[in-house]
Structure 1
């Protein structure tokens, strides 16, 4: 079946690529039952269990292993994607690590998932599933999945997201060593001001910068009226400086639309590693993430407010971000002579409506350098299947008079500059 991918889909894919999917309508939560890090884990008296090789759980015996409680939903793409990784980790460290997946959904729904999902079948996923759950959700309340709990020696050691479940963290925890994971708390207020005793009612306006805040869920920019102070509040929590500035420049409408890939960033700073988590290290966030709140008497349009906030970053951090033309290595789509190509009729293919859509998709896939469209044909429908390299892609593109060439091209990049660089 063909899929018509529009430009809107490409950008929505980027927007939601790392987003958690919300499973249920929000319900009243009894936080008196909720466990926190360091609390003693009390096992359920019974569970509804399917799949895997376990008929039941010996919770006493499991105290010698790091136990992962992995909350998932059938319509959560990230939840499904990480299952093979979790199974591989368990298989590799079977004497140290145990995975238990948990869902509120019923048995029939889960059976249908594993019967029809080609990705799970291809990876032969057979983890134990606790279904129709209410017990685990009551002691580990959350709004979004995946939601990950690490338990060892009968204690809760981590309440985190899927990025925190790494081989290093599992082995360190089993060895009694400290682990570094971000806390996932879907019900946290996410508010720096509330931690400043006595100032909630007296603040008139102002800006608050802080480092990483334990227990506050990461959140990108939000502009809204604050119900406590009555002021207009701009905020972001536990995010990287580069991520923060990149969103601001989009809100300020200071540049043309393109995929915000890190290759399109030019650094004029002493140490770029404090701005961006290049190695995707979980511990990086506690060291480098920031929280920001600004309270204004006057409400401004988001585009203007973004400029005001960017000035705060210049004033307090001595850093600014702006757009500039630079020559960098790119994948350039150019016209070429048409060369017929006969595709495998049974191969899966995707149709891109316009070379601009193809360019956006190529940028999103990150298989090649940043893409530039010199064909600019918005009506052509390009249908291509899988490819492993540029040559394989070009053989298919030539049927439409298009080819990709990797070469230097002058394009817009984002410049991150420190005042005293």
Structure 2
């Protein structure tokens, strides 16, 4: 059987798995670095870009003492971290607002080959240049200030003392002004981390016992501090197949199970019709989501089956959820939704003339599909090119066979896509359609969460 492994990190925070914990307890790894009130050593920073020294000349190195007299805010970030990238324009604005009183300095462990093209593309998209110095391949700064989540900010005052360790929410005009006036102590960011081996089952052999002979189990727990939120699906490896979802809201567990690991039951394809929707989905953002999960609304689920089992992973997960959360009824129904439909403009199927073996290529300005199904096109439009579009994107051509299609140009706008689709006799039209929808309702039977002996366990 072909091995399939999928890792998904949710966007509560961008995770950087480099720190270690001890005694299998969640620990704050920021405590291993320089602390608030301690002086930062006058190290030489290398790998600088877009930095001008005191003489106004471009320089690739600097000493921390070069920033003496300024509030230095070290910004630890990465190109794959969405909150980090979103902070670039804000930091640039703050830098201009406070002028010589402050200096933002962004540091990443990524190389200049990864970072500089990314920043150039980002600035082109934004139509603006950002005058923020960047340190690439940063090792010394990361060693001085260990952390596990991004973005991560270290505030160093004009004398070289650490004033604060924060997340991105504290970086604003009000707090910077208060720091200058010594009128505030900012909330210290804590990066909790725990020893976790993704190659062995949850709660076993370092995660809670010896799992060397584990063949089959199903576990549901409450929120596990220190692990962040993640998902893993392994259809076949060695002797077992696995579904693992850590620190998930109940709604996301339901969407995962009824998607069979493939179909994406996004918000626009899910109807929640329960009396207390806040128990299964938060609607919150940022740090508030993590607090909501910790307050009894986050779950960690793991199912392991032997490869030779005739049971289906997804059917077993559905069964577990139905048994453990039997106050809810979950079904897939056809319902009318406003959709963005792909329709034909001609009687001929101009898009089914594929000429090669399977081929797939997706870049910012090109989508090439050969000898694969129409659903690959709709998936890319909904999840890549029109990711922010609120309505489902549906194939309404009446054809769902294999296609050959090459879209080029502005693929992130409806107008640009219509131009590319036109040569294949296709266009995008907003219309009402009956589509499959995941529907979650109350059963009106208040039995709570079931506890069963043997394979199923519920713990808080």
Taking the TM superposition and a 5 Å limit, the aligned residue runs for 1:9-408 are 35-36=30-31, 39-40=35-36, 42-49=39-46, 50=48, 51-53=50-52, 55-58=62-65, 61=69, 67-72=73-78, 76=80, 78=82, 81-82=85-86, 84-88=88-92, 90-91=94-95, 94=98, 99-104=104-109, 109=113, 113=116, 117-120=120-123, 122-141=127-146, 147-152=150-155, 154=162, 157-158=165-166, 165-166=168-169, 171=174, 176=184, 183=191, 185=193, 200=209, 207-211=219-223, 213-221=224-232, 235-251=244-260, 258-288=263-293, 289-293=297-301, 304-317=312-325, 318-319=327-328, 321-337=330-346, 350-353=366-369, 355-364=374-383, 365-366=386-387, 367=389, 369-375=391-397, 376=399, 378-386=402-410, 390=414, 393-394=417-418, 396-408=420-432
Q: Is the 8 A contact 2:337 2:435 kept in 1?
A: yes
**What secondary structure, in the 3-state scheme, does the structure 2 residue paired with 1:36 have?**
helix
Give the TM-score normalised by the residue count of structure 1: 0.65
Structure 2, unaligned runs of 5 or more: 54-61, 157-161, 348-363, 446-460
Contact 1:333 1:371 in 2 (8 A): yes
Q: In structure 2, what is the Cα distance between the partners aligned to 1:262 and 1:270?
A: 18
Q: Residue 278 and residue 206 in structure 1: after superposition, are their counterparts in 2 closer, same or farther (change >3 A)?
A: closer
Say whether the 8 Å CA contact 1:328–1:411 is kept in structure 2. Answer: yes
Q: What SS does structure 2 have at the residue aligned with 1:35?
A: helix
Following the alignment from structure 1 to structure 2, what is the Cα–Cα distance between the partners of residues 115 and 267? Answer: 39
1:265 Cα deviation (Å)? 0.4
Q: Which residue of 2 aligns with 1:9?
A: none
What secondary structure does 1:404 align onto?
Answer: strand
**Could you say if the C-alpha distance between residues 126 and 17 of structure 1 is closer, same or farther in structure 2, counting changes exceeding 3 Å?**
farther
Residue-pair matches, total? 376
Per-residue displacement from partner, 1:75-122 (whole Å, max 9, x unpaired)? Answer: x4759844633534533764897532223466x758x82699333465
Q: RMSD over aligned Cα, in angstroms?
A: 5.3
CA distance in 2: counterparts of 1:178 and 1:77, whole angstroms: 23
| Residues 1:52 and 1:242: Cα distance change in structure 2 (over 3 Å) | farther
Retained in 2: the 8 A contact 1:397–1:403? yes
Say whether the 8 Å CA contact 1:264–1:414 is kept in structure 2: yes
CA apart distance, 1:327: 1.3
Change in Cα spacing, 1:297 to 1:388, as seen in structure 2 (3 Å) is closer
Using the alignment, how far apart are the partners of 1:297 and 1:16 within structure 2? 23
Q: Which runs of 5+ in 1 are unaligned?
A: 1-11, 159-163, 225-230, 339-347
Is the 2:165–2:189 contact (alpha carbons within 8 Å) kept by the matching residues of 1? no
Q: TM-score scaled by structure 2?
A: 0.61
Deviation for aligned residue 1:314: 3.6
